[in-house]
Amino acid sequence: MSYKEIYEEWLSNPYFDEKTKEELKAIADDDKEIQERFYTELEFGTAGLRGIIGAGTNRMNIYTVRKTTQGLANYILGVNGQDKGVAIAYDSRRMSPEFATEAALCLAANGIKAYIFESLRPTPELSYAVRKLGCIAGINITASHNPPEYNGYKVYWEDGAQITPPHDGGIMAEVKKVTDFNTVKTMDREAAKAAGLYVVIGAEVDDAYIAELKSQVKNPEVIKEMQKDIKIVYSPLHGTGNIPARRVLKELGFENVYVVKEQELPDGEFPTVSYPNPEAAEAFELGLKLAKEIDADLVLATDPDADRLGVYVKDTKSGEYITLTGNMSGCLLAEYELSQIEKQQGIPADGALIKTIVTTNMADAIAKSYNAKLIEVLTGFKYIGQQILGFEQAKKGTYLFGFEESYGCLIGTHARDKDAIVATMALCEAAAYYKKQGKTLWDAMIDMYEKYGYYKDGIQSITLKGMEGLAKIQEILDTLRNNTPAEIGGYKVVSARDYKLDKIKNMETGEVTATGLPSSNVLYYDLTDDAWVCVRPSGTEPKVKFYYGIKGTSLSDADKKSADLGEAVIAMINKML
């Protein structure tokens, strides 16, 4: 059927409610809007669903959520996992509770028990709950840091990580088979409860999760000694982090935790920011104002589902607060965690630090310094989770730390997704540890630069929306794939990795080797002088991203080299637009 015919079918089919039909009638004269909503189905990809909330096949609504859940239920039934149940969490976004309920009732109608949180919870707690409750899968209703008009649907498997092969492909195939909304099952909530198929969870999982976080503390005695001297500003950015982050800090003994009042309560409109992204400077305006008033040591902000953490730290020499990128905070935590493991029990012979391919090369230097194995995986924290599962299954390999450049890391193996609550806890612990030595976190960062080199990493991205945008993104990747550049920004391309074609080409010798990683539409260029550039389409937004990194001899040298390479990348992008 054409998009117009599908639109008309939604208007006439009694399956769809009147509110949905009224919304669709309101766009009757806007053919472009009708096309945008119905030209395709909101695709269930490896990251699940993510899209704009509204009526239509290409939108997030109760019908697309039910349909997706029916496909998931069919897969679970196919692998005979129905007796284990599914854990469901949601964030503070518009329609998140409603979507979570619809998913639970669809599962229940298929005879699969749903464990649904009583109220909003962070992503890492959902990951933890899947394993804690012995579930076959998990569903998380969140669009992370996207603008307010978005929501999403992430699927986790029984290991607590987001789905990876073969389950991702199997679930996607089952979702695609569900072509008729009328075949999607649902049931009454009270009937589901009476049948023991709709189970509300809360405090018992919260308590166990917080206990797991506290078990990761390396120096509790330092916290006790310095708890009155550390001042922390924290913002949950209107999301899920407020209660768990404050709870764990309080239980560890931190006495001076100041919450940004304007951003404290859950609010899916995110009224204080244009979009709730802890990478963005605007997310910290209110927090920095408070920090200057109270002379805070560090300023922290978690995104709405509390899996990513943004950080500002005070430089006592200048009096200014300096932002840490995800690469910087990740390396700071990696150095702290590994140094304490080495000091307290020694680095295990099979210890590993795991990073994604677009994460800073400083991670490689840290791993080498501590004689730990450095494992590189595709972008997406689920691949770090997959490595932890591999260690467990092989009974070989010790997870030390894992992180990605997009402000996400995991300390411990209680979860299999990035955890901003444990990162908040660990950064505050590190701040106390270094303050006892008369240092700030910024001083610790400078020490790392002196030890490993002045690595600096950046990203440029362009947003290309709609059908035309998707085609343009693919065209950019195809152009680069078929025409490997000889140099970028004055750096010679030493080797070119094509993860889609599973090959690494040595540009000097022409030798081709395998990447050894799963197929992914990503291109990576190793450059001279420890520089690099990587190109990939976003898995969650209509963007193509260009990542790059350099190694300088000082802060100013690194800043200049990074700016120059960034300009060269922009010029390269503009040539292809």
Instruction: Give tens-digit pLDDT for 516-531.
Output: 999 999 999 999 999 9
Residue listed under structure tokens 């610790």: 444
Q: Which pairing describes strands 137-141 and 86-90: parallel, antiparallel, or unpaired?
A: parallel
- DSSP calls for 256-284: EEEE-GGGTS--TT-TTSSS--TTSGGGG
Torsion, Cα 440 441 444 446, to 10 degrees, reads -100
Residue listed under structure tokens 């935790």: 257
Domain assignment of residue 321, yes or no: no
Q: Which residues does residue 376 pair with via DSSP β-bridges, in sequence order?
A: 355
Domain boundary among 146, 174, 203: 203
Domain assignment of residue 537, yes or no: yes
pLDDT in tens, 349-367: 999 999 999 999 999 999 9
- Neighbour-count burial of 190, counting CB atoms closer than 10 A to its CB (0-12 exposed, 13-18 middle, 19+ buried): exposed
Q: Which domain holds residue 554?
A: 456-576
Q: What is the crossing angle of helices 203-214 and 420-436, to 10°?
A: 30
Residue listed under structure tokens 């979860």: 415
pLDDT at position 464, please? 84
172's enclosing H/E stretch is: helix 167-177
* Alpha carbons 175 and 71: distance in angstroms, whole number: 4
Type of residue at 148: P
Give the three-state DSSP class for 53. strand
* Alpha carbons 485 and 525: distance in angstroms, whole number: 9
* Alpha carbons 278 and 404: distance in angstroms, whole number: 14
**Token pair for residue 568?**
């060269």
Domain assignment of residue 173, yes or no: yes
| Contact by Cβ (8 Å): 453, 331 | no
pLDDT at position 114, please? 98
What are the phi and psi torsion angles at 451 (to 5°)?
A: -75, -45
Q: Which stretches does DSSP call E strand in 26-132?
A: 49-52, 86-90, 114-117
The domain spanning residue 558 has which CATH number? 3.30.310
Q: What is the crossing angle of helices 441-452 and 362-369, to 10°?
A: 80
**Token pair for residue 66?**
């039910």
**Token pair for residue 376?**
């590189």
Domain assignment of residue 530, yes or no: yes
135's enclosing H/E stretch is: none
Catalytic residue check, 235: no
* Alpha carbons 368 and 365: distance in angstroms, whole number: 5
| Contact by Cβ (8 Å): 162, 155 | yes
Domain assignment of residue 303, yes or no: no
Percent helix, strand, coil in the chain, to 5, is 40, 20, 35
Domain assignment of residue 509, yes or no: yes
Q: Which residues of the chain have pLDDT under 50?
A: none
Domain boundary among 168, 203, 238: 203
* Alpha carbons 197 and 190: distance in angstroms, whole number: 10
What are the phi and psi torsion angles at 13 (to 5°)?
A: -75, 125
| Contact by Cβ (8 Å): 240, 157 | no
* Alpha carbons 29 and 10: distance in angstroms, whole number: 16
pLDDT at position 470, please? 82
Q: Is the pTM higher than 0.75?
A: yes
Give the angle 476-478-482 at the CA atoms, nearest 5°.
120
Closest Cα partner for 145 from 553, 547, 538?
538
Q: What is the crossing angle of helices 3-12 and 18-25, to 10°?
A: 140
Domain assignment of residue 189, yes or no: yes
Cα separation values, 549 from 37, 123, 380, 462, Å: 38, 29, 19, 18
| Contact by Cβ (8 Å): 256, 319 | no
| Contact by Cβ (8 Å): 280, 106 | no
- DSSP calls for 219-260: -HHHHHHHTTT-EEEEE-TTSS-HHHHHHHHHHHT--EEEE-
| Contact by Cβ (8 Å): 363, 375 | no
Q: Which residues does residue 157 pair with via DSSP β-bridges, in sequence order?
A: 137
Among candidate residues 92, 96, 127, 144, the one labeled active-site is 144
Count of CB atoms within 10 A of residue 302's CB? 30
Total domains in the chain come to 2
| Contact by Cβ (8 Å): 135, 213 | no
Cis peptide before 166 (omega within 30 of 0): yes
| Contact by Cβ (8 Å): 137, 155 | yes
Which residues lie closer than 8 Å to 568 by C-beta, 6 or more apart?
488, 489, 490
Domain assignment of residue 9, yes or no: no
The domain spanning residue 88 has which CATH number? 3.40.120.10
Domain boundary among 169, 203, 237: 203
